[in-house]
Structure 1
């Protein structure tokens, strides 16, 4: 398949690596220094847990022209950056697009692409569970042996799923189709906004955070309130187990949260190496809009945003 990976950050670079590895004709869209690095050195990835470095040469473009047609385009970038690339995507004559990453407004993006494209656009949304960072011209990829991808449309069946299945076949991805990725993505960012407040409260010192019983209980209650905001707006929390943990299994959730904070990898998963500060800000604004629409009190969520450790309070 002829595939474009639009975006050459950590997630896009790893996706391109997997697609090249299984034999697809892959192009990466990058700009500035990142494009120069890819052209000079290839797509260099250090696989953090696998203790290896891989290098793949890929075709690199800096601009997506309307007639540069691909079988499939994966748009992989941070949520605040999606809006800027929509005009070029709409103008391009490729028909199949997967927008991958945190996303608070997938419906608006789909509507824009379908309304402004000269061809019929089939649009899906996805999220891959991976973290990492860029360092000295290479990407550090933090992942397990199989990276999970949730993918799907916005309540409709993806009749063009074979394109996606063909692209991901034989990769080290395990992908699951969701019926409504709008609900999945909203549920996901409610969860990460609550969890990411742990690291920010203690400036990344998760061992200290794990000892703050009030903070951890506040996170759990805030997450439940976030789910209630979604439900008040007519969304179903997806997956359902996420809601059950925060609402009905709080003791177990608390224990698992303490265990998670004791694992060194949490310093990466709950830092800007997983979700950048500007992305958190954009998602917080999106949640604030949902909260306003729901017109309901969220005392724990509000307290969590202002929470400071007990030692700071005494000083």
Structure 2
């Protein structure tokens, strides 16, 4: 099966590794230095918990042409990068697209592709449960959750489900189908934004955060307010236990976050606030529509965006 991985970061590289090992013909789209690294060395991954290294050779391109056809295209990028890719995907003749990553605006992304494509687009959205970082050499340090992706369609069943399953058939990778993927992604974004904002404000010093009661409390309170916005707008919080923990069992949530931020594995996961800044801007529209008070979320947004603005300037 011909598969394109559009994006060669930590998550895209691991997905490409999985699909190559499953017997597919995999092409990775990368640019600049990353393109050269893949051409020369292939996909080099250090699997942290498994304590092993793998090297996989893949086809590498730096541009997707209109006539290039793939059975599946996985777009694995940061949220702030998706908008630049959508016009290119719309012009391409491939039909089956999975947009993978943090996403607060899946409906508008799908509408853009449907309205601007000359060929029928079958679209799904997913989130790969893994993380890690990329070293200067290009080697990926992979910290993964068993090799799995939460995936679903905004229109009910995924029309190309059989194609997806065939692609992963010879792997141990697990596809977790979700009937409310938009709600799942938005629920996930709430937690990601609250946590990453605190991380950014504290310069990603996780052990320092684990000892800071104010930061941990604000993180949990911001999540609660974010979930309230989604609830007001009729979104299903998924998984539902997130609300119970931050609202009804806050002490458990507090100590859970405290323990999480003590884990040494956190230093192996890349952090980028440019993505979170873009999510905040999208989420502003949901806040306006919900029209409820969110003082903790607003304070966290204000302080983190001010820091980001100062650093960018």
TM-score scaled to structure 2, two decimals? Answer: 0.91
CA apart distance, 1:228: 0.5
1:67 to 1:51, Cα distance in 2 relative to 1, 3 A: same
The answer as to whether partners of 1:68 and 1:92 remain within 8 angstroms in 2 is: yes
Match of 2:256 in 1: 256
Aligned counterpart for 1:290 among listed residues 286, 289, 292: 286
The answer as to whether partners of 1:132 and 1:139 remain within 8 angstroms in 2 is: no
1:16 to 1:178, Cα distance in 2 relative to 1, 3 A: same
Match of 2:16 in 1: 16
Aligned counterpart for 1:280 among listed residues 276, 280, 290: 276
Matched residue pairs, number? Answer: 304
Shifted more, 60-69 versus 142-151: the winner is 142-151
For the residue of structure 2 that corresponds to 1:49, the secondary structure is coil
Match of 2:50 in 1: 50
The answer as to whether partners of 2:133 and 2:268 remain within 8 angstroms in 1 is: no
1:145 to 1:82, Cα distance in 2 relative to 1, 3 A: closer
Match of 1:312 in 2: none
Match of 1:313 in 2: none
Pair 1:244 & 2:244 matched: yes
CA apart distance, 1:75: 0.7
CA apart distance, 1:307: 6.7
- Equivalents in 2 of 1:112, 1:128: separation in Å? 23
- Equivalents in 2 of 1:204, 1:62: separation in Å? 32
For the residue of structure 1 that corresponds to 2:199, the secondary structure is helix
Aligned counterpart for 1:304 among listed residues 295, 300, 303: 300
1:301 to 1:288, Cα distance in 2 relative to 1, 3 A: same
Match of 2:204 in 1: 204
Match of 2:122 in 1: 122
The answer as to whether partners of 2:143 and 2:268 remain within 8 angstroms in 1 is: no
Where do 5+ consecutive residues of structure 2 fail to align?
305-313
CA apart distance, 1:199: 2.1
1:101 to 1:59, Cα distance in 2 relative to 1, 3 A: same
1:67-86 to structure 2, matched below 5 A, reads 67-86=67-86
Shifted more, 257-266 versus 94-103: the winner is 257-266
1:155 to 1:240, Cα distance in 2 relative to 1, 3 A: farther
Q: 1:61-101: CA deviations, max 9, x gaps?
A: 12111221111111111111111111121111111110111
Shifted more, 64-73 versus 295-304: the winner is 295-304
For the residue of structure 1 that corresponds to 2:292, the secondary structure is coil
Match of 1:182 in 2: 182
For the residue of structure 2 that corresponds to 1:146, the secondary structure is strand
CA apart distance, 1:163: 1.1
- Equivalents in 2 of 1:154, 1:226: separation in Å? 22
- Equivalents in 2 of 1:278, 1:176: separation in Å? 28
CA apart distance, 1:26: 0.6
- Equivalents in 2 of 1:69, 1:135: separation in Å? 31
- Equivalents in 2 of 1:229, 1:85: separation in Å? 29
1:17 to 1:93, Cα distance in 2 relative to 1, 3 A: same
1:96-107 to structure 2, matched below 5 A, reads 96-107=96-107
Q: 1:172-215: CA deviations, max 9, x gaps?
A: 42221111221111111111111123322332222222222232
CA apart distance, 1:162: 1.0
Pair 1:142 & 2:142 matched: yes
CA apart distance, 1:224: 0.7
1:10 to 1:305, Cα distance in 2 relative to 1, 3 A: same
How large is the RMSD of aligned CA atoms in angstroms?
1.8
CA apart distance, 1:254: 1.3
